[in-house]
Homo-oligomer: A and B are copies of this chain.
Amino acid sequence: MEILPLKKIPEVDPRKHYSAINTAVMDVPSMRKHSPPSHSDDDMIAITTQGTTSEAPVHGNLNPLQGFGVSGNHMDPEGELPPGFGQYEDFQTIDWQRDIARDRTRHRHIIKEKLLSVFGRMKGAHDAWSGWVCVLLVGIAAGTCASLIDIGASWMVDLREGICPAAFWLNKEQCCWGSDETLSYEGGSGECKEWHPWSQILGGGRSGTGATVLSYFCYILWSLFFAVLAAMLVRVFAPYACGSGIPEIKTILSGFIIRGYLGKWTLLIKSVGMMLAVAAGLSLGKEGPLVHVACCIGNIFSYLFPKYGRNEAKKREILSAASAAGVSVAFGAPIGGVLFSLEEVSYYFPLKTLWRSFFCALVAAFILTSINPFGNQHSVLFYVEYNRPWMLFELLPFIGLGCIGGVIGSIFIKANIRWCRYRKISRLGQYPITEVLAVAGLTAMVAYPIHFTRMNTSQLIYMLFSQCGPADNHELCDYNRNFTNVNKEMNIAAAGPGVYKSLWLLAFSVIIKLIATVFTFGIKVPAGLFIPSLAMGAIIGRIVGVGMEQLAVAHPGLWIWGGECGPNSFCVTPGLYAMVGATAVLGGVTRMTVSLVVIMFELTGGVRYIVPLMAAAMASKWVADALGKEGIYDSHILLNGYPFLDTKEEFGYTSLAADVMQPRSEPLAVLTQDGMTLGEVEQLLSSTDRNAFPVVVSKESQFLVGLVVRRDLVLALENAKSTQTGITHRSPVVFSSAITRTTLPSEEESSPPVRLSKILDMAPMTVTDHTPMETVIDLFRKLGIRQVLVTHYGRLLGIITKKDVLRHIHDNEDDGFGGLGF
């Protein structure tokens, strides 16, 4: 029999851990048996070679906590169970019902104690408040962390261009604070004397061809340096810190265990790597990874409160709140963050969690505003205020933008998934650092010449969202100005040549951005998708917006304007189009709906513009859903084969439980409630790799008694062998507590029985063989169970695990019932 090295899990070679995750659904046994990773997982091997050895102490420290004797089996609270019961191995799915029941048992215990002593009362109060205290701490830490990341990233971004010799730790804006020159948002212009570009420091002067070439080289060199640093850090210290993290967090929140994914090393490396990756000029954002960072914080703080740290189901409540805080600090949008957590990330979201998430998101946003890294009085990233209402006719271009956004989103997803699949199956995956270097170098080389791509993407988005005011003198705002002679009528909204030049550059930029992002999302550095998607959409929207604006200038009398456009007024806001376009593309990529609109609404703060945003988001989602079913996160979940059971999808199968259950042909591996010997049980354990074994009255009758989890069984047998004397492989294994008396007489002649009634779950979930799979899937999704037993007229027929359900969904995916998500 193969006894698992349970205590040694943290020391298991992390490269196998990581590779195993990719085959987790279809290949769990291979993982458990430490089989060599399959070819398709080679991509991570190079990275994870020295990987999480530094990660291990995190769990090494925390494991003892987890093993603390919380009654694991809620059915039998009086029994003393050896430590480790009710815990999970890595890459296992948790049993929500059991964990929640465990928490209730604990809660009852505390309430009982509360009535007995003052200490009990204090303990009760601590228990009652710990959830709130925990999310408060998470909020504070997430806000602080986001501020530090913002400050660090902004400093590093400017470092590519120059330095502040007076105080090297200042970024360009801070450096120029004292200067009386105005600093516009454009990257190239508006420099102040205090700020020294590298060309000047290296002796090439501040301007001229030589200076430009020198700046270009410095820019590329810095980009490469930052990129390679980020990739090295990820590779050496925390392989889990790469990518956006949202697909994995969705999987974790749905009840999967990935040890170390939310550890402190991941947190640290992801934070630092994020700044470096942004500063490397790669086409990525730090907003998605901020959700991962917030979840790491949530995970770490949850260990301060045993109620959450020791209970995987309860811990996920904290993680849901943390992910809300992550979005909240990423965009300064607390309500949007909560809805994002509800709509996109979370799985089990009771209303209590809604309230806590809101609190957590709000605290995080409040801390961020107090530290104020954006340097303005608003707590949001791209705060804009438009002073013109939109016209009803404009809904048409808005919906058009939505459709464009949906198409671009689908193209992006398909191209990115194809590239990622190619990376997985080709040798490319073995050279992640080289890949990062190549992508960073090419991006920097192409991006520098065009100032729209050179500048920080957040600044670009902000510029595109904004209205042109009198103080804006960049080319995009090259409109006819007439500030001096108020009597002379002039077409103030007519575009100058600078605007047209900008439009061409913007059109070119969006192509560069799209290609760069396809190749960037998936490389082994922290990389988010929000900002590149927003930027693409904002560019397209701005182009359409300027087009509409000039149409209004050329034909102000058209009926479509409803008489609101005159030659002397701006009546179309190109910035609003940029915002609508950004919404559309982000919607097409992520398939967010309500949360997307609310996030964008919180950026402007005006209820008035919800309708355009909503129209674009809806059009985008419908078009994108028609072109491809999954959003980018779900596509990556599928690509990586995570065991994720989507709560949103509706399944229209006609199959019944009997069609899906295992085993189909050979008899099911079952235990009988008595009458089996230790040897037979061990033989069964080694001959099959099931995670749970049904216990029946007898092999002949197959009437169901209960269920035993493999891990508990192995632990209990080991425990019995080490503590009980006289245990041989002929000792009977007894699951029933009632029938023991009848077996007692035989005890003298043979070896004493191993009594396992304590680990027997007498309340397994059962369905009949005629139950439609829709109902079975609902059971899995809504109750979070791990397996369901199938019976017919009371007799056990088979078992359906989450794995079987996922395989069934996968097999039936192309039967045409996916549809448009209606």
Contacts and interface: CB of A to CB of B under 8 A. Distances in A.
Contacts of A1: none
A355 B108 contact: no
Interface string A683-717: 00000000000000100000111100000000000
Most B Cβ at <10 Å: residue of A100, A365, A771: A771
Most B Cβ at <10 Å: residue of A104, A654, A768: A768
Nearest to A707: B768
B100 A362 contact: no
A198 interface: no
A333 to B, nearest CB: 8
A684 to B, nearest CB: 21
A26 interface: no
A820 B128 contact: yes
Given A354-B343, A822-B131, A703 B380 contact: no
Contacts of A705: 793
A530 B164 CA distance: 57
Nearest to A622: B132
Contacts of A350: 648
A736 to B, nearest CB: 10
A562 interface: no
A274 B797 CA distance: 60
Contacts of A821: 352
Contacts of A598: 335
Contacts of A766: 766-768, 791
Interface in A759-778: 762-768, 770-772, 774-775, 778
A779 B784 CA distance: 11
A614 interface: yes
Given A358-B593, A652-B108, A775-B97, A605 B602 contact: no
Interface string A339-355: 00011000000111011
Contacts of A657: 763
Contacts of A334: 607, 610
A300 interface: no
A104 B793 contact: no
Contacts of A366: 611
A74 B819 CA distance: 21
A704 B763 contact: no
A594 B101 contact: no
A111 interface: yes
Given A97-B775, A108-B817, A794-B703, A593 B770 contact: no
A455 to B, nearest CB: 27
Contacts of A338: 594
A763 B774 contact: no
A597 interface: yes
Given A647-B351, A793-B705, A820-B128, A104 B359 contact: no
A107 interface: yes
A540 interface: no
Nearest to A778: B783
A94 to B, nearest CB: 16
Interface string A372-405: 0000001110000000000000000000000000
Interface string A83-123: 00000000000000100110010011001000000000000
A730 interface: no
A618 interface: yes
Contacts of A362: 610-611, 614
A352 B648 contact: yes
Given A816-B111, A817-B108, A614 B359 contact: yes
Contact of A111 (B131, B335, B817): B817
Contacts of A817: 107-108, 111
A332 B608 CA distance: 11
Interface residues of A, number: 85
Interface in A402-436: none
Contact of A704 (B351, B610, B794, B822): B794
A59 interface: no
A652 B101 CA distance: 9
Nearest to A128: B822
Most B Cβ at <10 Å: residue of A358, A378, A817: A358
Contacts of A7: none
A774 to B, nearest CB: 6
A47 B598 CA distance: 45
**Number of this chain's copies in the complex:** 2
B618 A607 contact: no
Interface string A606-624: 1110110010001000000
Contacts of A664: none
Contacts of A647: 351
Interface string A21-41: 000000000000000000000
Contacts of A627: none
B605 A606 contact: yes
A795 interface: yes
Nearest to A796: B794
A12 interface: no
Contacts of A351: 343, 647-648
A129 interface: yes
Nearest to A610: B362
A782 interface: yes
A75 interface: yes
Nearest to A785: B775
A350 B650 CA distance: 10
Contact of A774 (B101, B605, B819): B101
Contacts of A822: 127-129, 131-132, 352
Nearest to A355: B593
A606 to B, nearest CB: 7
A775 B614 contact: no
Most B Cβ at <10 Å: residue of A74, A351, A656, A767: A351
B763 A104 contact: no
A291 B660 CA distance: 44
Nearest to A392: B370
A28 to B, nearest CB: 26
28 contacts: A97-B775, A101-B774, A104-B774, A107-B652, A108-B817, A127-B822, A129-B822, A131-B822, A332-B607, A343-B351, A352-B822, A354-B593, A359-B618, A362-B610, A362-B614, A378-B607, A605-B607, A697-B793, A704-B793, A763-B767, A763-B770, A763-B771, A763-B772, A766-B766, A766-B767, A766-B791, A779-B783, A794-B795
Can you list the 8 inter-chain pairs with the closest CB atoms, starting with the nearest? A794-B794, A762-B770, A763-B771, A703-B794, A782-B782, A128-B822, A703-B793, A355-B593
Interface of A: 74-75, 97, 100-101, 104, 107-108, 111, 127-129, 131-132, 332, 334-335, 338, 342-343, 350-352, 354-355, 358-359, 362, 365-366, 378-380, 593-594, 597-598, 601-602, 605-608, 610-611, 614, 618, 647-648, 650, 652, 654, 656-657, 697, 703-706, 762-768, 770-772, 774-775, 778-779, 782-783, 791, 793-795, 816-817, 819-822
Given A335-B598, A656-B763, A766-B791, 11 more contacts: A101-B772, A108-B817, A111-B819, A128-B822, A352-B648, A362-B610, A379-B607, A706-B768, A762-B770, A766-B766, A778-B783
